[in-house]
Chain A
């Protein structure tokens, strides 16, 4: 009997090991399946050394490959990436990693950094856990081969790792966390546009379009970035003279939104603004619509993924959100990236995939600017990036290391499950299931 138990236990462990192995092999398959053809999706940049944007800077990376990269000796250059492929934020972390690795392969296969020059993102999964993230980044810092760090998907994790990284002095690029306090002119930068301006922008658009007398704001109260988004919304409502009937706190690990939705509906708001994390916002929209709320909802990119539509379906109709990237955008760079991503992963890229893609190109550009494989050079290379044509649009960095976008796009879900442009008018808002 004991032998049978041991056998079953060994079998279970073997299954676990095999399953882990499957994950690796999928990555390998994706690697070989990744196309290495055109490179028009590669961002183009303007650096401090090149203070004006010229035609030469909008060339494809294939052409860039033919240009010698001064000082960058052939070799493999490493960055430390803190992933979140497990835990509650894996919905974002998985596409982050996929986008990053797709870009990594393209950068290497096209020779963007020169002949024999490749980059490699070391990947460790922190699962959204602060202590794990600190340990991972401390290990990266102690590894002299790691030239710079890329992290985080969560503001709470970014806040936790910040002190040690600032102390260590190497470049840290935040690829997705939205707390405004992360960036630091010394060594902490952001590779994507911060959401608070988009929150304010869509709040202004909603106020103009729907002319509400009052509003309710729902927030994930244990997330610094979303609290900042809440404040941005409240600022717009206050300056527009809109009465705020209430601010409802929810939490990142909540699984039931029936109570908060009931509370929000009972207030009789003309518009409901959501600043929630991931699945909590999806659940909130579902509860609001299923309980008969017929007014407009203003959300955020938490409800922008394909999985969101599968989960919430037509309850998402009549909800608008600001977004820097969506695959339906006509921009050639976006279309090129979307085609490559879909070919590699058999799914349409979402905003998180775009963030992963973008940060990989950002780091490659920093390395290229720095011209040598040292932490100091890469840090200087990051500082030199002033503007960049990306899948988000034209990004411009300020002195603090914060990226701003030239224009935000407002989108909404269509009945056939596609994100489509919201033109910013009340008439342009598609009817929801309660209308």
Chain B
């Protein structure tokens, strides 16, 4: 039983990283209709910028992480305005943005390789939260608690932001129908910039937390998050922040518990098998029919 609970905690922590990433990924997908495969690079660059601020500029850890988050967010805005906005104005459909995002994925990935020298960079271990909480036989490292708490907090903040603020309402309106939103006085471009920033900053948070958990800042940070984040959005339902969160947690649990009780060799088979089962049973995702969140 202890082993099951311990692995469940591990699954929740891993899933929380996926959930954070998926919330931003789903936000762009739901509101702008863009399957942005460059989204993983925002996670990578968030981690790299946070480390650079801490290591090179001597900024204390927490502000450095905020710089990484903000830097990742600005990168998302830059990519959107350089790459996606011209296509949006021309009504480029689905394929154009995907190809554009592949281009940015490659460029930003290569720049990350250059920035890191293709090596693994690390925060000084003494700067990171070490140690763990013991509850009976259970061991919960601080970084897992932080990841889990940040995921829940982000879900709450983003959900309230979307549901209780004026700009959140505008974002939902643009996601539902940009033309109608425009007629109603919404400035779609401004809304898109806000969405791009929030989504990329959220991805950066996932990248930063993942890097801190493993003390591993490299150009591959976002790669692992991308596929799992995509699967989480599909499983949870891409129109709902809560769905993305639940999808991420489910994938984390399926991965870790599947590896423990079935086989680690079947880990990805289990994850993406779950994706296919959900797609067959509920094509809109687990929470896709609830029409809450982005599309309320």
Partner-B contacts on A (CB < 8 A): 2, 5, 8-9, 12, 15-16, 19-20, 23, 85-88, 90-91, 93-94, 221, 248-251, 253, 255-260, 262-263, 266, 279, 282-283, 286, 290-292, 307, 310-314
Taken together as a complex, chains A and B put the C-alpha atoms of A292 and B111 apart, in Å, by 38
Q: Which residues of B contact A20 (CB under 8 A)?
A: 114
The reply on B259 being an interface residue by CB < 8 A is yes
Tell me the smallest distance from the CB of B286 to a CB of chain A, in Å.
23
The one of A9, A282, A292, A314 that contacts B82, using a Cβ cutoff of 8 Å: A9
In the assembly, what is the distance between CA of A15 and CA of B110, in Å? 12
Query: Does B60 have its Cβ within 8 Å of any Cβ on chain A?
Result: no
Asked if B149 lies at the interface with its beta carbon under 8 angstroms from chain A, I say: no
- Tell me if B264 counts as interface (CB < 8 A to partner A): yes
* B10 pairs with A259, CB closer than 8 A: yes
Chain B residues with CB under 8 A of A290 = 130, 132, 141
CA distance A291 to B137 in the complex (A): 11
B residues less than 8 Å from A307 (CB atoms) = 119-120, 122
Q: Interface residues, chain B, CB within 8 Å of chain A?
A: 2-3, 6-7, 10-11, 13-14, 78, 81-82, 86, 107, 110-111, 113-114, 117-120, 122, 125-126, 130, 132, 139, 141, 144, 210, 213-216, 218, 220-221, 223-224, 255-256, 259-260, 263-265
The 8 Å CB contact of B220, one of A88, A260, A262, A314, is A88
Q: Which chain B residues lie closer than 8 Å to A87 at the CB level?
A: 118
Instruction: Please measure, in the bound complex, the distance between the C-alpha atom of A185 and the C-alpha atom of B117, giving whole angstroms.
Output: 37
A256 and B114 contacting across the interface, CB-CB below 8 Å: no
CA–CA, A408 to B126, complex, Å? 34
Of the candidates B2, B114, B210, B221, the one whose C-beta lies within 8 Å of that of A23 is: B114
**Contact for B265 among A16, A221, A282, CB less than 8 A:** A221
Q: A16-B111, A255-B224 are in contact. Are A260 and B216 (CB under 8 A)?
A: no
Q: For residue B11, which residues in chain A have a CB less than 8 angstroms away from its CB?
A: 259
Closest residue on chain A to residue B116 by CB atoms: A90
Instruction: Report if A311-B215 is in contact (Cβ < 8 Å); known contacts: A90-B119, A290-B132.
Output: yes
With A87-B118, A292-B132 already in contact, 10 other A-B pairs whose C-beta atoms are closer than 8 Å: A86-B113, A90-B113, A249-B265, A251-B264, A253-B220, A258-B144, A259-B264, A286-B215, A311-B120, A313-B126
A12 to B255 CA separation, bound complex (whole angstroms): 38
Per a CB cutoff under 8 Å, which of A250, A255, A310 touches B122? Answer: A310
Pick 23 A–B contacts, CB within 8 A, sort by A.
A5-B82, A8-B82, A16-B107, A23-B114, A85-B118, A90-B118, A90-B119, A94-B118, A221-B264, A249-B264, A250-B264, A253-B223, A255-B224, A258-B13, A259-B11, A260-B259, A262-B7, A263-B260, A279-B120, A286-B215, A291-B132, A311-B122, A311-B216
A97 to B: closest C-beta gap in Å: 11
Which partner residue on chain B sits nearest A18 by CB separation? B114
| Minimum C-beta distance from A278 to chain B (A) | 9
| Chain B residue contacts of A94, Cβ below 8 A | 117-119
Find out whether the CB atom of B214 lies under 8 angstroms from the CB atom of A255: yes
- Docked pose: A80 CA to B218 CA in angstroms: 28
Contact of A260 among B110, B125, B264 (CB under 8 A): B264
Query: Which residues from chain A contact B10 at a C-beta distance below 8 Å?
Result: 256, 258-259, 262
Q: A residues within 8 A CB of B139?
A: 291-292
CB A276 to nearest CB in B, in angstroms, measures 12
A20 to B220, CA, bound (A): 19
What DSSP secondary structure best describes chain B's contact surface?
helix
C-alpha gap A298/B257 in the complex (Å): 26
- Report the minimal beta-carbon distance from A160 to chain B, rounded to whole angstroms: 21
A313 to B260 alpha-carbon distance, docked (Å): 28
Does the CB pair B132–A253 fall under 8 Å? Answer: no
- Whether A12 contacts B141 by the Cβ 8 Å rule is no
The 7 closest A-B pairs by CB, nearest first: A90-B118, A258-B10, A313-B125, A259-B256, A311-B122, A249-B264, A19-B114
- Among A16, A249, A253, A255, chain B packs the most CB atoms within 10 A around the CB of A255
Residues of chain A within 8 A of B126, CB atoms compared:
313
A91 neighbours in B (Cβ, 8 Å): 119-120
The answer for the CA separation of A5 and B87 in the assembled complex, in Å, is: 13
Q: Given that A290-B141, A313-B125 are contacting pairs, would A279 and B216 also be in contact in the complex, using a CB cutoff of 8 Å?
A: yes
A283 touches B14 (CB 8 A): no
Interface-centre pick from A88, A90, A313 (highest chain B CB count, 10 A): A90
Contact status A255-B114, CB under 8 Å? no
| Residues in B neighbouring A221, C-beta threshold 8 A | 264-265
Cβ of B139 to closest chain A Cβ, rounded Å: 5
B215 touches A312 (CB 8 A): yes
Determine the chain A residues whose CB is within 8 A of the CB of B78 once the complex forms.
8
* Inter-chain contact A248/B264, CB cutoff 8 Å: yes
Q: Which residue of B lies closest to A90 (CB)?
A: B118
Whose C-beta in chain A lies nearest to the C-beta of B259? A259
A283 to B224, CA, bound (A): 15
Cβ of A279: which chain B residues have Cβ within 8 Å of it?
120, 216, 218
B71 to chain A, nearest CB (A): 15
**Distance between Cα atoms of A262 and B2 in the complex (Å):** 10
* Bound: A23/B130 CA distance, A: 36
Residue of A nearest to B219 (CB): A86
Instruction: Give the complex CA separation of A90 and B113 in angstroms.
Output: 10
State in angstroms the CA–CA spacing of A105 and B109 once bound together. Answer: 32
Q: Which residues of A contact B223 (CB under 8 A)?
A: 253
Q: How far is the CA of A258 from the CA of B215 in the complex (A)?
A: 13
In the complex with contacts A20-B114, A262-B7, A283-B216 CB distance below 8 A? yes
CA–CA, A312 to B2, complex, Å? 27
CA separation between A353 and B220, bound complex, in Å? 23
| Residue with the greatest number of chain B CB neighbours at <10 A, chosen from A9, A20, A86 | A86
Bound CA–CA A279/B116 (angstroms): 15
A255-B210 contact given A249-B263, A260-B264, CB 8 Å threshold: yes
What separation, in Å, do the CA atoms of A291 and B6 have in the docked complex?
A: 11
Look across to chain A and name the residue whose beta carbon is closest to the beta carbon of B130.
Answer: A290
Cα-based distance from A86 to B115 in the complex (angstroms): 12
Please measure, in the bound complex, the distance between the C-alpha atom of A282 and the C-alpha atom of B259, giving whole angstroms: 20
Interface centre among B6, B78, B120, B263 (most CB of A within 10 A): B120
Chain A residues whose C-beta falls within 8 Å of the C-beta of B111 in the assembled complex: 15-16, 19
Q: Which residues of B contact A291 (CB under 8 A)?
A: 132, 139, 141
Q: How far is the CA of A253 from the CA of B110 in the complex (A)?
A: 18
A255: contacting residue among B81, B117, B119, B216, CB under 8 A = B216
Which residues of A sit under 8 angstroms from B110, Cβ to Cβ? Answer: 16
Most chain A CB atoms below 10 A, which of B141, B214, B259: B214
**Closest A residue to B261 using CB positions:** A263
Q: Tell me how far the C-beta of B1 lies from the nearest C-beta in chain A, rounded to whole angstroms.
A: 11
Inter-chain CA distance A87–B13, complex, in Å, is 26
